[in-house]
Structure 1
Amino acid sequence: MRLTILAALAVFALDQWTKIAVVHWMNLRHLGTIEVLPPWITFRMAWNYGVNFGLFADHSPATRWVLVALALAVSAWVLWWVRHDQGRAVRLFAGMLVGGALGNVVDRILYGAVADFLNVTCCGIDNPFAFNVADIAIFIGAAGLVFTHRGHNSR
């Protein structure tokens, strides 16, 4: 469980630090766009009121708090579930997922939406979506859990 907590704390800290650095110190919230490594990497401010890719986006306070409650419930369930699994990779991926989810929860509480700013474009495709470190960790954590978890009966 220690690895899970350390991974969650590391992801959470990195996520919040990058948001403070880019959104506030680099003033992305007012500039809107900063070219980092054109044309591949751009910081593009996007306030996500929904879930991935803005699905279920709704500016209502009810939606905001439902998504906060859902992220907290999923995080609590993952922490409860992973305490039974002794695999190092599973504990690491669980921590990544939880740290990312909690990073986005803090955004919803502080700003009312998730602060997304990373925009990656490649190969002539104009990507309209932005994401953040928490989103990356949630994706890697969830995918890692799917591919590395051993069922309780397989031990």
Structure 2
Amino acid sequence: MNRTIFIIILIAINIAIDQISKVWVRANFDYAEIKSIIGDKFIMQYVENKGAFLGMGSDMNDTLKLIFLLILPVVVLGYVVYYIIKTKELDRLSLIAFCCIIGGGIANVFDRIVYGQVTDFFFINLGGIFKTGIFNFADLSVTTGMIMLLFGSFLNKKKADNNLD
């Protein structure tokens, strides 16, 4: 498959999954309604986030929100798209990771532009072991992409170290 088409498809899939899930939540939940998926460990709660990750920046004035939650993300996402299209040496794992990050980023920026806020609805609480804030598929895409990049960098470093031996 053509590399650029592969990139576009991966980004579009990330955006589509996120946007379809948000439309479904807005249509099937009342605001702040909580539905248990797996006991109290995995729940869905419909909220709107006026800030960034975990509501950070929601108390900023409108000018700062415009700069840090719209303009800066659009510039960064645009650069990353340019980078992955131009950098043909990227391994497949890194390419997929960047597509997840871009797709999730675009999906949340889209929400901020269209709705003025981002729809969130997932919450995980595994007792004292692991607990999240309320998040969405776009957040999950970005986080997964970052984990994949970290994992890939360790693999590449190990491979480079082995080649030195």
The correspondence of residues 70-149 of structure 1 with structure 2, limited to 5 A, is: 70-83=72-85, 84=87, 85-123=89-127, 127=131, 129-148=133-152
Give the conservation status (yes or no) of the 8 Å contact 2:57–2:65.
Answer: no
Q: Deviations over 1:23-80 (max 9, x none)?
A: 2x21243x52222222111111222222222222226432442211122111111111
Could you state the TM-score of these two structures normalised by the residue count of structure 1? 0.83
**Partner Cα separation in structure 2 for residue 141 and residue 127 of structure 1:** 20
3-state SS, counterpart of residue 58 of structure 1: coil
1:39–1:8: structure 2 CA closer, same or farther, 3 Å change rule? same
Unaligned runs of 5+ in 2: 161-165
3-state SS, counterpart of residue 95 of structure 2: helix
Unaligned runs of 5+ in 1: none
Q: Indicate the residue corresponding to 2:163 in structure 1.
A: none
Amino acid at match of 1:44: Q
Q: CA deviation at 1:12?
A: 0.2
Root-mean-square deviation over aligned CA pairs? 2.4
Could you state the TM-score of these two structures normalised by the residue count of structure 2? 0.79
**Partner Cα separation in structure 2 for residue 45 and residue 59 of structure 1:** 22
3-state SS, counterpart of residue 48 of structure 2: strand
3-state SS, counterpart of residue 117 of structure 1: strand
Give the conservation status (yes or no) of the 8 Å contact 1:28–1:43.
Answer: no
The correspondence of residues 30-45 of structure 1 with structure 2, limited to 5 A, is: 32-45=33-46
Q: Indicate the residue corresponding to 1:16 in structure 2.
A: 19
Give the conservation status (yes or no) of the 8 Å contact 1:6–1:95.
Answer: no
**Partner Cα separation in structure 1 for residue 152 and residue 24 of structure 2:** 33
Q: Indicate the residue corresponding to 2:63 in structure 1.
A: 62
